[in-house]
Amino acid sequence: MPPIRHLAFVVNEQKAGAPELAATLIALARTSGASVKHVSTFPIPTGFLKGQDACCVIGGDGTLLGVSREAAREQVPIIGINRGSLGFLTTFSADEARNQFTTLLAGEFQITYRTMLACSTGPGQHDLALNDVLIKDEINSRIVRLEVFADDELVTNYHCDGLIFSTPTGSTAYNLSAGGPLIHPSADVIAMTPICPHTLSNRSIIFREGVKLRVYNCKPDSRLLVAMDGQRNLRVCAESPVEISMAAQRLPLAQRLDYSHFSVVRTKLKWSGGVIDPGGKA
């Protein structure tokens, strides 16, 4: 990749060690001759990433999710440095960032493009999500009745606590907790996973790239909540369906040259395909 000459920093100062790490990396960037700008307020200002070669996000996955829409719109690669817990998206550790930052600035990284979801709930109500779109009742204890169409074809009706529409990137988030599948991040699909459905035949459904999904509220006395990446809510206009599709924009995510998705899954989720005996043999 070309060297980074213009670098933005987004720092979650609520995360332990984040301000100190940011100061170290900003100093390294300036020493290398890169111009630097930084912000620690959320949401980040509109246009903050315009003209930048990359954006260094220091925090947790939630911090990165909060920057993803702006980065996708401006096509600015995100370098995610983890100061949170799991760190599925912020894949660089603090030590890796300190040790490898000069080589990152020189362009020694790869970029993967992550699918995002576009969601509309009525006129003027639309947003992007990197992980997932959640549809549920505004009141947590109430069950919803939802009717799902794919390209004008009825899929089925759900009587459940809600529906999760997930990208491959988000498959390791809420979708996984609800029993949904793990999906490789390079797959161009959307997963739909019901939450606690009133049926014994519950299964996730995988939709192809290009599908246009519409979800209708079948309970006139209830109001839906649509949450984008668990951070932002869309108001559902009366009688309007929730429309979901793959977004035209994809998020450019900077990763190490030796990055392995399955290594991250094994490490972060302690995931294994079999039982390992004390001798180390499967």
Confirm whether 30 is domain-assigned. yes
Mean pLDDT of 156-183: 96
276 pLDDT more than 70: no
Q: How far apart are CA 80 and CA 264, in angstroms?
A: 14
Which residues are part of the catalytic machinery?
61
Regarding whether 101 and 10 lie in a shared domain, the answer is: yes
What is the distance between the alpha carbons of residues 134 and 141, in angstroms, rounded to a whole number? 15
Evaluate whether residue 64 is within a structural domain: yes
Query: What is d(CA 3, CA 101) in angstroms, rounded to the nearest whole number?
Result: 12
Q: Is residue 277 in some structural domain?
A: no
Query: Per the domain annotation, does 14 fall within a domain?
Result: yes
Q: Are residues 156 and 231 in the same domain?
A: yes
Q: Which two tokens stand for residue 178?
A: 């609800």
User: Residues 235, 139: one domain?
Assistant: yes
Q: How confident is residue 277, by pLDDT bands cut at 50, 70 and 90? A: low
Same domain, 86 and 142: no
Task: Give the chain as a DSSP string.
Answer: -PPP-EEEEEE-TTSTTHHHHHHHHHHHHHHTT-EEEEE-SSSPPTTTTTT-SEEEEEE-HHHHHHHHHHHHHHT--EEEEE-SSS-SS--B-HHHHHHHHHHHHTT--EEEEE--EEEEEETTEEEEESSEEEEEESSTT--EEEEEEETTEEEEEEEESEEEEE-SGGGGTHHHHTTPPP--TT--EEEEEEES-SSS----EEEETT--EEEEE--TT--EEEEETTTEEEPPPTTPPEEEEE-S--EEEEE-TT--HHHHHHHHH---SSPPPTTS--
**CATH number of the domain bearing residue 86:** 3.40.50.10330
Which domain range does residue 10 map to? 6-114+250-269
Residues 152 and 31 grouped into a single domain: no
What pLDDT shows up at residue 84?
77
Instruction: Identify the pLDDT of residue 94.
Output: 93
Summarised one tens digit per residue, pLDDT across range 110-167 is 999 999 999 999 988 999 999 999 999 988 788 999 999 999 999 999 999 999 999 9
Q: For 228-237, what is each residue's pLDDT tens digit?
A: 999 999 988 8
Confidence of residue 270 (pLDDT cuts 50, 70, 90): confident
* pLDDT tens per residue across span 251-263: 999 998 888 888 8
Q: Which residue has the higher pLDDT, 88 or 26?
A: 26
Rounded to whole angstroms, the Cα distance separating 139 from 134 reads 14
* Mean pLDDT, range 164-191, rounded to an integer: 96
Tell me the pLDDT band of 275, cut-offs 50, 70 and 90: low
Q: What average pLDDT is seen over the chain?
A: 93
Residue 280, in any domain of the structure: no
**Is residue 282 situated within a structural domain?**
no
What number is the average pLDDT over the span 36-40?
Answer: 96
Q: Is residue 276 part of a domain?
A: no
**Does residue 218 lie in a domain region?**
yes
Provide the CATH number for the domain around residue 218.
2.60.200.30
Same domain, 144 and 94: no
Residues 54 and 130 in one domain: no
Residues 156, 240, single domain; the answer is: yes
What share of the chain has pLDDT > 90, as a percent? 79
60-111, pLDDT tens digit by residue? 999 999 999 999 999 999 999 999 777 889 989 999 999 999 999 999 999 9
Whether 18 and 128 share a structural domain:
no
pLDDT > 70: percent of the chain: 97
Could you give the number of structural domains in the chain?
2
Average pLDDT rounded to a whole number, residues 236-253: 93
Q: State the residue for tokens 């639309």.
A: 126
Same domain, 59 and 103: yes
Read off the pLDDT of each residue in 44-48 and give the average, rounded to a whole number.
94
In terms of domains, do 107 and 121 share one?
no
- 181-187 mean pLDDT: 95
Q: Binning pLDDT at 50, 70 and 90, where does residue 273 land?
A: confident
Query: According to the model, what pLDDT value does residue 278 have?
Result: 57
Residues 109 and 121 grouped into a single domain: no
